[in-house]
Chains A and B, each alone.
Chain A
Amino acid sequence: MSALSTSARSRWGRLSDAARRWIDSDLARDFRSSPVALFALVVVSLYVLAASFPSLVAPHPVFDLSTLDFADAFRPPAWLEGGSWRFVLGADDQGRDVLSAIIYGLRVSLFVSVAAVALSVAIGVSLGLIAGFYGGWIDSLIMRVADVQLTFPAMLVAVLFDGLLRSAFGEQAHQRHAISIIIVAIALSGWVQYARTVRGSTLVVSRHNYVLAARMMGQPTGFILFRHILPNVATPVFVIATIQLAVAIILEATLSFVGLGVPPTQPSLGTLIRVGNGYLLSGEWWLAMFPGFALLFLVLAVNLLGDFLRDALNPSLK
């Protein structure tokens, strides 16, 4: 009993130490001096929380189709005539609560874009490390591929990969793997930035004495890469990733809007806007506008955060 509480206390102590260190850090001081960034951080955190625990936040379990009631179809937002506080932001053509649909849609959007950015970081960082560390023809090969890809805008690359994978998989398999396909498509459109940055830093770092020393001591290459080089390139990668997250969110929404993204049975924010677009003229504006502004605020907050991090952590990227 007492042992337990001691260990709990010490864990708590470690946590609070970490918290104190964080509060005292430069970054936190920067945050405190920038209310806008702080606000953006709060907004993004709220979004992430809502997307992580949709069943706790969303008023209705909207993807259980059997709970829908057509009697609620097209209910306007609560403050309008005919609205109900059960459907704060109104209901769609199926009688689905728009607020809940946004929250669950947010989950899909954020999942896809975070996964895509993670994958693109993994690809970009690995290739950048390899290129920078080994140099020679491996370096030229990777960097030439990066050059080729950089000639194409991310949007086109994503649509193209989506189209290719779609044809390659066939209609049915595509339906089943739609989410993975869109993640891969977005990831493949964004890896170049990381690869270039990491390669540059790696070139510099690998000439440092401690890396040379590690090499001479016969440490395995993988160990050197991850232990000595990766930490040095982590900050710019983190900053780029934040900015790229905003791009990934927009890409996912755009692909879904043009009907190439996630299937309509798992609507993301983009899908909700596409469907709502059909009701823009008939008076049910809430079906497109609420998801649209939810998306806009999310991207805006992520961009604010990205800008702030870039200024605070890595002014050279400006």
Chain B
Amino acid sequence: MLKPTWRGLAGIILSTGLLVSSGPAWTKTLRIGAQADAGTMDPQAQNIQTTITLLSMIYEPLITRDKALNKAPALAESWTQTNPTTWRFKLRPGVKFHDGSALSSADVAFTILRAQGATSQFASYVAGLTVTPVDDLTFDIVSPRPDQLLPDKLLYVPIMSKLWSEKNNALTPQNLKDKQESYTALNANGTGPYRLASRAPDSKTVLQRVPQYWGPLDGDITEVVWTPIASDPTRVAALLSGELDIVIDVPAQDVARLQQNADLKIAKVDEFRTIFFGFDLKSDKLKYADTDRNPFKDVRVRQAINLAVDRDAVVRTVMRGLASPTTQILAPGNVGYDPALDRTVTTNRERARQLLAEAGYPNGFGFTFDCPNDRYVNDEQVCKTMATMMSQIGLKPTLNAMPRARYFPKIWDRDTSMYMMGFNSPYFDGMYSLETMLMTRDDKKGEGIYNYSNVADPALDKEIAAARDEMDPRKREAMMKALYKKITDDVFFVSLYNQVLVYAMRKNVSTPVRPDNWLEIRWVTMN
């Protein structure tokens, strides 16, 4: 599994992290500042990295990653493939949830069943799986078809307690239907190194180290205080004035200033997240536009927008150089990545206008596009710049920027004509994007769950499925590269850049920066 790129990456990560493990003699509180709060304490209700990161301090999956980002045992001690569709797992003995109950196979079976529920956002990871407990600590997971990535997917499924969930009527993720309060919105009971001590949504969440934690910890933090601060300057000011120890989403424009501060340091890594725009590719009449057709279904219109984008300018001005331009939706470091697709077009407004005219829009058309304003680094500014660039080829875009609390439900409902997206493949494999963003939507099978463009092309589905089910890694990668070439050439998405991830922290804090923007609390030290 370990590819050459990984080794290099692992080296970088290791060199940024200071591995000091000393017993905590006194309280070491790590005050984390983030742009937004975790939306819930339910580990299956919100597949957004902020929520995942915070909950990963409390909950643990069967399998985790080590510092080289390879798979490593967590709650599962071992796993082996007993036949093409069956994996046998052995649980670590003696692990206890924070409420004192012991972890058993029944909890895993319950968790996976729960994650398949209608309100779960993690259904794609566990679609079609069945769990058969063998004994208290042994169980089989059977997948409907051979899946080499099954263990990788389980990395994103933190294990919950069956008893606790039953007792608190939390059998499905974030259940609002019964007119009952969702217990898991505010409470958590995991096996992880920290337990939830207090939670005030939108203002402060406090985690405390669990003394009887089963595993070793490289980090030495005894208490975590998580503070969401929406306003960029306020958040940065809080770090500058010493009220925070680390900020995990630093606005690009403030990096230079923070670097000058003698009490602070900056850690950067090329993130696996690509920022791009998608279009409604299904409706015959675009919902939010002043035309009776759907211009975005015409590849020439999408090509025109692709040609209108001045990626270097965006990276230089809005991102202050903290991004690398790209024309595809897959970042380096993922299986299936082809560097040739990073520069398929260069800015050419003349050609773009020509293409619009050929498509029947010599005077452009008006439409509204949706953007979050508190999710990605400088998202609203990027969208403003996008509006400017699209205007420069004669289009008349209107920007509709909103907080993530409204943005994501809107695009989950496919209620958009053009939208912004920042996507990374959780298990560093390009198949994830293809399967979830381009296959025809089928929530049960976990296919097309993020297909906000409403692509529905049986031929494409077939091709993606063929690559997915291919067992020969070499052939599989070739098939994926061909697919990425196709969707890049047909401009399914207009891609802008891959983000550079920046953490800013006090000098005494040390942490590796993972390219999937996952602050791993187990590795954080303070001295």
Q: Interface on A for B, CB 8 Å cutoff?
A: 64-66, 68, 70, 73-74, 93-95, 171-172, 175, 259, 263-265, 275, 277-284
Contacts and interface: CB of A to CB of B under 8 A. Distances in A.
A65 B387 contact: yes
B380 A282 contact: no
B237 A175 contact: no
B433 interface: no
B368 A175 contact: yes
Contacts of A277: 231-233
A68 B254 CA distance: 24
A73 B380 CA distance: 16
A267 to B, nearest CB: 10
Contact of B310 (A70, A74, A265, A275): A70
B388 A278 contact: no
A66 B308 CA distance: 11
A60 to B, nearest CB: 13
B398 A263 contact: yes
A263 B399 contact: yes
A65 to B, nearest CB: 3
Contacts of B401: 264
B368 A65 contact: no
B425 interface: no
B232 A175 contact: no
Q: Which of A64, A95, A259, A265 has the most CB of B within 10 A?
A: A265
A68 B388 contact: yes
A283 B257 contact: yes
Nearest to B234: A277
B369 to A, nearest CB: 11
Nearest to B237: A281
7 contacts: A65-B391, A70-B385, A94-B317, A172-B288, A263-B398, A278-B253, A279-B253
Contacts of A94: 317, 384-385, 388
B318 to A, nearest CB: 6
**Interface size class of chain B, counting residues whose CB lies under 8 Å from the partner chain:** 35 or more
B392 A93 contact: no
Contact of B380 (A65, A70, A264, A283): A264
Given A95-B317, A172-B400, 5 more contacts: A68-B392, A93-B381, A94-B317, A171-B410, A277-B232
Contacts of B163: none
B398 A265 contact: yes
B373 interface: yes
A282 B377 CA distance: 15
A70 B368 contact: no
Contacts of A282: 251, 253-254, 256-257
A62 to B, nearest CB: 11
B313 interface: yes
Contacts of A65: 387-388, 391-392
A278 B318 CA distance: 11
A209 to B, nearest CB: 59
Interface in B311-339: 313, 316-318
B399 A264 contact: yes
B236 interface: yes
Contacts of B398: 175, 263, 265
B400 A281 contact: no
B254 A281 contact: yes
A61 to B, nearest CB: 12
Nearest to A280: B233
B328 to A, nearest CB: 23
Nearest to A71: B313
Interface string B398-414: 11111100100010000
Contacts of B387: 65, 265
A300 B385 CA distance: 34
A291 B231 CA distance: 19
Nearest to B318: A93
A25 B231 CA distance: 52
B288 A70 contact: no
Q: Which of A93, A259, A275, A282 has the most CB of B within 10 A?
A: A282
Contacts of A280: 233
B264 to A, nearest CB: 13
Contacts of B406: 171
A74 to B, nearest CB: 7
B317 A93 contact: yes
Contacts of A171: 400, 402, 406, 410
Contacts of B288: 172
Contact of B368 (A93, A172, A275): A172
List the 8 closest A-B pairs by CB distance, nearest first.
Answer: A65-B391, A282-B253, A70-B313, A73-B317, A65-B388, A66-B392, A280-B233, A278-B232
